[in-house]
Amino acid sequence: MHLSEQDLAPSIGESLASYIRRARTSLGLSQKELAERAGIHAQSVGKIERGQTKRLKQEPKRGLAHALSIPVEFLDAICLGRTVDAIAALRFCPQCWVPGTAPDPMWTTPRSKYCFACGTELCDRCSNCKEPVASLRFRFCPYCGKSYKT
Ligand SMILES: [Zn+2]
Ligand SMILES: [Zn+2]
């Protein structure tokens, strides 16, 4: 089954607990399987899903993002209580970004304007129709079909 990437984007006001549970079950993973993939204790996953863990440390956060194939920014945004609009301000280098992978955090820090590696101006929207990038796990713009990568 191929999941739509947007299904795994956090909803407005969604808690970390319900988001992790939703992302995990949509991938068909048990808590134990998710914990193994993320390199954390199964008990930690249980605590997150029961709402006992509100903030994630760097390591488990990266592990969970990797295990769920989501950008770390999704988890950051949820922990900070940001809305999907803020999450949607994703930026990438049209030269260096590998479509279908999470963007380098160097591109998505709010102050970055140019690629740290090649100096190209970063993009946060489709170069063709100018719609904001909904998810960098899409290779093509869902509005006009143009590839995000130039
Ligand atoms: Zn670049
Ligand atoms: Zn477009």
CATH number at residue 34: 1.10.260.40
Percent of the chain with pLDDT over 90: 38
Q: What are the backbone angles phi and psi of residue 26, rounded to the nearest 5°?
A: -70, -20
CB 79 within 8 Å of CB 54:
yes
Residue 73 predicted with pLDDT over 70: yes
> Are residues 38 and 92 located together in one domain of the fold?
no
> Are residues 100 and 46 located together in one domain of the fold?
no
> Are residues 26 and 58 located together in one domain of the fold?
yes
User: What spacing in Å lies between the alpha carbon of 5 and ligand 2's midpoint?
Assistant: 17
User: What spacing in Å lies between the alpha carbon of 8 and ligand 2's midpoint?
Assistant: 21
> Are residues 94 and 66 located together in one domain of the fold?
no
> Are residues 66 and 101 located together in one domain of the fold?
no
Residues 6+ apart with CB under 8 A from 76: 61, 82
User: What spacing in Å lies between the alpha carbon of 46 and ligand 1's midpoint?
Assistant: 39
Ligand nearest to C-alpha 128: 2
> Are residues 24 and 55 located together in one domain of the fold?
yes
User: What spacing in Å lies between the alpha carbon of 136 and ligand 1's midpoint?
Assistant: 15
Percent of the chain with pLDDT over 70: 87
> Are residues 49 and 94 located together in one domain of the fold?
no
Residue 97 predicted with pLDDT over 80: yes
Range of the domain at 31: 5-84
Q: In sequence order, what are the beta bridge partners of 147?
A: 140
CB 129 within 8 Å of CB 146:
yes
Among 84, 102, 119, give the residue marking a domain's end: 84
User: What spacing in Å lies between the alpha carbon of 92 and ligand 1's midpoint?
Assistant: 8
Q: How many distinct structural domains can be found in the chain? A: 2
Ligand nearest to C-alpha 123: 1
Residue 125 predicted with pLDDT over 80: yes
> Are residues 79 and 94 located together in one domain of the fold?
no
Ligand nearest to C-alpha 114: 1
User: What spacing in Å lies between the alpha carbon of 91 and ligand 2's midpoint?
Assistant: 15
Among 39, 62, 84, give the residue marking a domain's end: 84
Ligand nearest to C-alpha 144: 2
> Are residues 80 and 9 located together in one domain of the fold?
yes
Residue ranges of alpha helices (H) inside 12-150 are: 16-26, 31-38, 42-49, 58-68, 72-80, 84-87, 105-108
Across the range 18-47, mean pLDDT stands at: 95
Rounded CA gap, 49 and 22, in Å? 10
* Residue 83: per-residue pLDDT: 56
Ion ligand 2 nearby residues (CB, 5 A):
126, 128-129, 141, 143-144, 146
Across the range 124-139, mean pLDDT stands at: 79
> Are residues 46 and 97 located together in one domain of the fold?
no
Across the range 13-27, mean pLDDT stands at: 91
